[in-house]
Amino acid sequence: MAHWKRFIYVIIALFSLQLTARAQETETFVHTIKQGETVYSIARTYQVSPESILKLNPTASTGIKAGGTLTIPQQQNGTQEKRFHTIQAGETLYKLTKTYQVSADDICKANPGLTAENFKAGMVIRIPASTMPVNIAPAKETAQPQGVAQSGCREMHKVKRKETLYSIAQNFNLTEAELKAANPEMNEPGYKLRKGDFVCIPFPKPEKPKEVIPTNEELMGKKTVSAPQKKISLGVILPFKGGTPENEKMIEFYRGVLMAVENMKRSGTSVDIFAYDSGKSPGDIQAIVNNHPLNHLDFIIGPLYPEQIAPLSKFCQHHHIKLVVPFSSLGDNVYENPYYYAINPPKSYQFAEAARLTTELFGKENVIFLEGTENDKDAAAFVDATRKRLQQNGSKANHLRLNDDEIKWMEAMTQYKDNVIIPNSSSIKLLNQLFPKLKEFTKKNPEYRIKLVGYPEWQTYANNHLENFYQFNTYVYSSFFRNPLNGNADEFENAYQKAFHTPTLVSWPRFGMLGFDTAIYFLKGISTYGEAFDQHLSQIVTTTYQHRFDFQRISNWSGFINREIEFIHYSPSHSIELIRLKK
């Protein structure tokens, strides 16, 4: 008895382990880390806490790198409203519809960035709740033909001399088992087939129709057809009132938008523009969407303040209106609103792209990380991203302190390559200390070739340090640039002054140019491609004065961030050029 109890306990234990293993499989999924992602951004993408990710991936607490993987917990919301699935090798969209009992159309709607081309192993997609009805009707039985005298036999065959079960079965395209099933006496002991016996020849079993499995392309259907849209409605929601310097910048931004609207009108596109003062609070935004008919707008530009983004994003997502956020990089709604466009992306993505450019341009040179006396968190993040990228590519870097003596500087440098110096601070204070040091060192040691890599903020120091930038072959990474040596900048500023009888503000960036560049990109794109706008983002051709755009989704269900980063190169030949490397 004890033996049987022990056996039953073992069976129960094994069954419990199987259930636990299956539960763990379905309660987690695998995410492949992409460039610029952090544990926080990944947590926001999947709407889980960073702590829950670190619990499953303890080593991630010391950092993550592109190409690695993380185990992610499914949302613990007590419902099956939506879950995430990592596509496995060989899986198809059709197979997922069967696995999750969800229609292909619903999966595609939940993943607006999903295409037949990017449906690949390792990609994570969102699975919505099942909406497919469960078929509980009993399957209809196929009517069988009655045969000879309703016997179920196709015919009665009279056995001939030398015939066997095998030869009869072969003659009628049957198996011996099928023949015996139709003639039960053949299974009796001692049965022998004799000449003259009558054998029931059954009807062949009806063939099951082969299941036609549709391809991903067929299930996803045709993409939205591009069609020109010659009437566009645009909303601008910014803090215009108050008379502060901040308000003046927003007014200049709006004037840049108006210049873009006039440009489109001259090319034959009608644009209706609606402007609203945003106030400062989320309640002010809510009052605007409650009290004004905004549902008809094609896109909205704004707001300025991060705390106002959520209510406006919610409204735009509900009404399928594109929301263009030109200033803040803190809008977490980009992770869940597919109609969200962030001109200024989260900093981690900026640092990752800048590190990629730096490594591709200078990876074979002698890179030197220069440590100043200040603590600059953003610059440190860029330096760290660049260091890791160099290590991944098998490149080494040297290190210097700003206050090191000349001998240590010479030990860190080489005469056989360009020496690329990357400071760990973007401050004017560091530059004021660095340039005299570089001038003294190169005067004594002219055999060393030096290049300098710097930060977007350095554009604001050009008035004081332009000659130094030229002298030390300086490269500044940035997502925007107003080139003072380019006639286009003067062209815009002259047109602005003529239209509004006032010059543009001296600011960084130039807000009038930012307004124009933002509006002209979206107006031109919608005018050219209509509802298929987001399928042609890289094909939109516009003339911009300061900003360029490279919008990409963070995930298949998210909004878009601008991944555009380029180098501003101040050459010793006293020229300025933009360097953009292909991804």
| Same-domain pairing of 436 and 574 | yes
User: For 26-66, what is each residue's pLDDT tens digit?
Assistant: 589 999 999 899 999 999 999 999 999 999 999 999 889 88
Confidence of residue 243 (pLDDT cuts 50, 70, 90): very high
How far is the C-alpha of 109 from the C-alpha of 147, rounded, in Å? 52
Q: What is the CATH number of the domain that holds 173?
A: 3.10.350.10
What average pLDDT does the structure give for the chain? 89
| Same-domain pairing of 63 and 118 | yes
- pTM for the model: 0.82
| Same-domain pairing of 544 and 520 | yes
Element (H, E) at 491: helix 487-500
Q: What pLDDT, on a 0 to 100 scale, did the predictor assign at position 146?
A: 53
Residue 78 lies in a domain: yes
Overall domain count for the chain: 4
Residue 67 lies in a domain: yes
The b/e string for 476-496 (b: 16+ C-beta within 10 A; e otherwise) is bbbbbbbeeeeeebeebbeeb
What single-letter DSSP state applies at residue 122? T
Residue 138 lies in a domain: no
pLDDT higher than threshold 80 for residue 135: no
Q: Which range of residues forms the domain containing residue 276?
A: 231-344+485-549
What single-letter DSSP state applies at residue 32? E
Confidence of residue 132 (pLDDT cuts 50, 70, 90): low
| Same-domain pairing of 358 and 443 | yes
Q: What is the CATH number of the domain that holds 276?
A: 3.40.50.2300
| Same-domain pairing of 36 and 109 | yes
| Same-domain pairing of 394 and 464 | yes
| Same-domain pairing of 363 and 503 | no
| Same-domain pairing of 498 and 473 | no
In the chain, helix, strand, coil percent, each to 5?
Answer: 45, 15, 40
What is the mean predicted confidence (pLDDT) over 538-542? 92
User: For 262-310, what is each residue's pLDDT tens digit?
Assistant: 999 999 999 999 999 999 999 999 999 999 999 999 999 999 999 999 9
Residue 380 lies in a domain: yes
Collect all residues with Cβ–Cβ distance below 8 Å to 17 and sequence separation of at least 6.
none
Residue 2 lies in a domain: no
Domain ends where: 128, 163, 190? 128
Residue 6 lies in a domain: no
pLDDT higher than threshold 50 for residue 577: yes
| Same-domain pairing of 501 and 370 | no
Lookup result for tokens 């069609």: 227
* Identity of the amino acid at 515: G
Examine residue 503 and say whether the peptide bond preceding it is cis (omega within 30 degrees of 0). no
| Same-domain pairing of 382 and 249 | no
| Same-domain pairing of 398 and 456 | yes
| Same-domain pairing of 356 and 433 | yes
Residue 8 lies in a domain: no
Residue 382 lies in a domain: yes
User: For 416-459, what is each residue's pLDDT tens digit?
Assistant: 999 999 999 999 999 999 999 999 999 999 999 999 999 999 99
